[in-house]
C-alpha cells in the first residue's frame, strides 16, 4: 500500500520555490502574503503558523491580520487590494459567522485571490483542490480512468474539486455526509473533506481503493480527519494519506506557488 506523503513532495517544491524567490528578490520583487482571520480556534491558529513558517523558509513575507469584526475584515481586504506590496491574500476560514463568507471573499481582487475562493473570477484554482491533484499525480494514481467518490461539497475542497474533475470529463460521484455512503464501495478513489471525524469507516472502502482525507476538525484539542482508524488498519488498499502530512503540506505549497506567481505578474 502506498502512503501519499504530501510532506515529502512539498519538500522538493519548497526548494524550487526558495530559488525562485531569491531570484525575484534580487530583481527587487518581494512576494508577500496577507492572512486575514477573526478566530483563535486551534485549527486556524495551527494552519496560520504553518504558513508563516513556510513563508519564512522560502523568503516570502507573511502578515497575520487578526480582525475583531466583519467590518474590519472588509476594510483590510479593500486596503490590500490597492496595496502593491501585497502579492496575494487569503481569508482563513471558517469565519465566526460563516454566513458572511461569500460577502467577504468576493471582495478580494481576483489577481490576489491566491486561495481560489472567490469563484470563477479568481485567477487561481482552489489551493486544496490543486494540492490533491498534485498528490495523486505525484504517486501515479490513475485519476482519469478511475471512478471517483467525493464526500463533501464545501467551498475549500469538495466544490472546486467537483467542478475541476467534471470539467475534465472524469467519472465523479458526489456524496454529502448524510448520503448513503455504502455506495463508496463502488469507487476506486475516495476523496473526503467534510470535517466530520471518523465518518469514513473501513466497511465503506473497497479493496485496492485510494483514500484521500482532506477533512479537518478539532477533537479534544487534537486535529483529526474524516477517515476512521479502521480504514488505516486495512492492508488491501492501493494508497491512503497519512493522519498528518498528506494534503495539508501540499496545500500550503500550492498557496505559495500562487503567491509567487501573483508577485511575478504584478
Residue-wise pLDDT tens digits, 136-155: 999 999 999 999 999 999 88
Q: What is the pLDDT of residues 68-97, one digit of tens each?
A: 999 999 999 999 999 999 999 999 988 999
Contact 245, 9 (CB under 8 A): no
Between 209 and 44, residue with greater pLDDT: 209
The model's pTM is 0.90
Residues 53 and 163 in one domain: no
pLDDT at 117: 85
Q: Does some domain include residue 179?
A: yes
84 plus 158 within the same structural domain: no
* Cis preceding-peptide flag for 91 (omega within 30 of 0): no
Per-residue pLDDT at 220: 74
Mean of pLDDT values over 164-168: 94
Q: Based on the domain organization, do 92 and 160 belong to the same domain?
A: no
Q: Tell me the three state secondary structure of residue 126.
A: coil
Phi, psi of 151 (to 5 degrees): -105, 115
- What pLDDT shows up at residue 153? 92
| pLDDT level of residue 168 (50, 70, 90 thresholds) | very high
Reported confidence tier of residue 216, pLDDT bands at 50, 70, 90: confident
- Total number of domains constituting the chain: 2
Q: Please answer whether residues 122 and 68 qualify as being in contact, where contact means their C-beta atoms are separated by less than 8 angstroms.
A: no
Mean pLDDT of the residues in the chain = 94
- Structural domain harbouring 30: 17-109
**200 falls within a domain:** yes
Same domain assignment for residues 63 and 133: no
Amino acid at each position: 500500500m502506498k502512503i501519499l506523503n504530501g510532506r515529502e513532495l512539498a519538500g522538493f517544491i519548497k526548494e524550487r520555490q526558495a530559488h525562485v524567490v531569491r531570484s525575484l528578490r534580487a530583481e527587487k520583487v518581494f512576494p508577500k502574503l496577507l492572512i486575514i482571520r477573526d478566530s483563535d480556534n486551534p485549527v486556524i491558529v495551527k494552519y496560520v503558523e504553518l504558513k508563516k513558517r513556510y513563508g519564512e523558509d522560502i523568503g516570502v513575507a507573511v502578515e497575520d491580520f487578526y480582525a475583531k469584526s466583519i467590518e474590519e475584515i472588509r476594510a483590510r481586504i479593500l486596503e490590500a487590494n490597492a496595496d502593491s506590496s501585497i502579492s496575494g491574500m487569503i481569508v482563513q476560514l471558517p469565519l465566526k459567522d460563516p454566513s458572511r463568507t461569500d460577502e467577504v471573499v468576493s471582495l478580494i481582487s481576483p489577481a490576489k485571490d491566491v486561495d481560489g475562493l472567490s469563484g470563477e473570477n479568481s485567477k487561481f484554482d482552489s489551493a486544496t483542490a490543486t494540492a490533491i491533484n498534485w498528490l495523486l499525480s505525484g504517486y501515479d494514481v490513475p485519476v482519469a480512468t478511475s471512478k471517483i467518490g467525493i464526500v463533501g461539497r464545501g467551498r475549500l475542497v469538495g466544490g472546486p474539486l467537483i467542478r475541476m474533475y467534471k470539467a475534465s470529463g472524469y467519472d465523479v460521484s458526489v456524496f454529502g455526509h448524510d448520503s448513503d455512503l455504502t455506495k463508496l464501495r463502488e469507487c476506486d478513489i475516495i476523496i473526503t473533506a467534510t470535517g466530520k471525524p471518523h465518518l469514513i469507516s473501513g466497511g465503506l472502502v473497497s479493496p485496492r481503493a485510494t483514500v484521500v482525507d482532506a477533512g479537518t476538525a478539532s477533537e479534544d484539542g487534537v486535529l483529526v480527519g474524516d477517515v476512521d482508524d479502521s480504514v488505516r488498519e486495512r492492508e488491501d488498499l492501493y494508497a491512503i494519506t497519512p493522519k498528518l502530512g498528506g494534503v495539508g503540506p501540499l496545500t500550503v505549497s500550492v498557496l505559495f506557488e500562487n503567491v509567487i506567481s501573483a508577485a511575478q505578474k504584478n
